[in-house]
Structure 1
Amino acid sequence: MTKKISLLSIYSLHLELLKGGKKIGDGTGFIYLHQKSKKKFLITNYHVLTCRDPKEPARLLHGYPDSPDEIIFYMPSRPTYEPKPGSIKIDAESKWFEHRRRSDGVDIVAIPIDFPGDAAVLTQDQLPLVEDIDLEVGSNLFVIGFPWGFSAGDYYPIWKKGTVASEPLFKPNGLSKFYIDAYTHPGMSGSPVFAAEWRNLVEVDKNTHDSMQMYEQGKINIDELLDKVNLPSSGKTFSKQFFRLIGIYSGRVASGKNDPNVGIVWQRILIDELFTDPVIVQHPYPPIVVT
């Protein structure tokens, strides 16, 4: 079987946060297609975009001198797929989509974005994803991002494996989030999170594959399918890992001086709600302009 680079590795984007041309931090983001408008947005955390707590935006996060005035992102370019930088300027006129419950801590934003002319823009609908992976306590997952800004080969993200650590159906404080057991680090905030599941498959010929698709589409009945299929008695089986986009990572749980090693994932439904129940805001605490 031919080996190739996973599209999920290309999906995660490294974000560099700048103030006055100096780097002040790292983050992760990804491009999300709004199905109705067909517009593409950069998705990341509120605290990555502003370096501020979504519950208390007047307060800068510890260690940051100000909100960033520019975010540099890196995308693959055609035809070589080498990384090329793009830029988002941030000032008093900047606007974005945030969640209606941002003040309750929902740490997600959607930012309008212009892409470099030769960018290979990858959105969630172009990924080889499935929707039938059950999400439950103990489910395997991957957080794909850039810990401390670190990457493989100066571009590809790091896959951090973890498990679902709380009941996904339970909504802490009425919010669609759950906790994960994963060894994550700063710089991974804003990473897409994927549930993962290995499945055993059987290799079939093209005629059998096409016939099964026709059956699923209701074009032939079961008797016609059985007449057409050609499953060898010793059909070749193989294992393949499948993925489902389940949400966005936004850092670790803070508990005073104690670190429970638990991360936070906001569920994907909240990303969709940015567009179905839109709240468009202008930067409430823009970066200080130094002249």
Structure 2
Amino acid sequence: MVEKFSGPSYQSLLLRLFWLTDDGEHKELFTGTGFIVRGDPGSKTPLYLITNRHILSGRTAEGGYVHKHSMIPTHISIAHNKGSGLARTGDLVEISQDLYDASGLPLWLEHPKGFVVDVVALPIIEFEAGHNQEATFYPYELARVGVPKPELSPSDTVQIVGFPFGQTSYRSLAIWTTGSIASEPTVGYGGYPRFLVDARTREGQSGSPVIVHTTASTPPMRFTDGSMRSHPGKSYLLGVYSGRIFKAAGGRTDVSDIGIVWKAGVIWEIIKRQLRRPLPSSSEYEEAKPALVGDL
């Protein structure tokens, strides 16, 4: 039987974050979600893993630690799609990459506005000494400036495709969560390029692609150029899921079902600028606290 799956199910990648102990062992800290995009075809590393900054750095934009014991990841294991001729869609090959160079500088690229933007791009090591020859990459297409996109409004349906609690639906295939847009998507929420969604998400889904996915039953959609279009089976990348909004007071934390989505445009800005920065100090985190941050 020929297996046929929707592209986003295998375009989302399960991430496992590790800390290298003093005795040389890798201790798993937590999981997350990521996906691949292709940068400038003329660059030396045209493929990038896109995820949240708090997943790779282990710290939120306000300086809180993701891990309960304040451990910081040093390595990442990415569950890539297996690319051998006999592999089935959903088969995986786990490939580990360092998160820091020999000097301790993070290897991921950040947004020009710095760590308050919870999206990063990690260059994928391609075929270095046979490192990734078993992996096949299925990148999302980034919409270029000026190219018509779906015209979206509050209450429109979106999909968040990732790995809640590090779980898969089948082999390495992701789990789909359906939500609705909860803020005006054309304006920046909280002064940043992001919007809100109403969705029941859980730990492990941070870094997930947020998409509009069309099927044969999807009615034609209005695009930003005023046209009505129907493209069954096509997915449109809207942004990167970054966790839910919450309020901490009096020793308790109230977490809502409203989540933060960083707009896809920040991915282009990150790749274009190619900025690597040292980890912020505690005082820098204190001085640059954003209005709202998400959890895992």
Deviation at 1:90, TM superposition (A): 2.6
The corresponding residue for 1:255 is 247
Amino acid at match of 2:206: S
Relative to the length of structure 1, the TM-score reads 0.76
Contact 1:180-1:264 within 8 A present in 2 as well: yes
Distance change >3 Å, CA 62–CA 87, structure 1 → 2: closer
What is the number of residues matched between the two proteins?
Answer: 243
The corresponding residue for 1:65 is 70
Distance change >3 Å, CA 132–CA 118, structure 1 → 2: same
- State the secondary structure of the residue aligned to 2:161: strand
Amino acid at match of 1:263: G
Which ranges of structure 2 fall in alignment gaps of 5 or more residues?
Answer: 21-25, 127-131, 221-229, 282-296
Give the 4+ runs in structure 1 shifted more than 6 A: none
Which ranges of structure 1 fall in alignment gaps of 5 or more residues?
Answer: 202-237, 286-291
- State the secondary structure of the residue aligned to 2:55: helix
How far apart, CA to CA, are the structure 2 residues paired with 1:190 and 1:35? Answer: 22
User: Which one of 270, 273, 286 corresponds to residue 266 of structure 2?
Assistant: 270
How far apart, CA to CA, are the structure 1 residues paired with 2:151 and 2:201? Answer: 23
The structure that has the greater radius of gyration is 1
CA RMSD of aligned residues (A): 2.6
The corresponding residue for 1:94 is 106
User: Which one of 23, 27, 31 corresponds to residue 28 of structure 2?
Assistant: 23
Contact 1:140-1:196 within 8 A present in 2 as well: no
Relative to the length of structure 2, the TM-score reads 0.75
Contact 1:141-1:194 within 8 A present in 2 as well: yes
Distance change >3 Å, CA 187–CA 260, structure 1 → 2: same
Percent identity over the alignment is 29
Amino acid at match of 2:96: S
How far apart, CA to CA, are the structure 2 residues paired with 1:25 and 1:186? Answer: 9
Q: Does 2:202 correspond to 1:185?
A: yes
Q: Does 2:237 correspond to 1:245?
A: yes
Deviation at 1:161, TM superposition (A): 0.4
How far apart, CA to CA, are the structure 2 residues paired with 1:239 and 1:33? Answer: 22
Contact 1:133-1:196 within 8 A present in 2 as well: no
Structure showing the higher helix proportion among its residues: 1
- CA deviation vs aligned residue, 1:105-147 (integer Å, no higher than 9, x gap): 21000112214212111111399xx954222111111100000
- CA deviation vs aligned residue, 1:148-175 (integer Å, no higher than 9, x gap): 1010223111000000011112212321
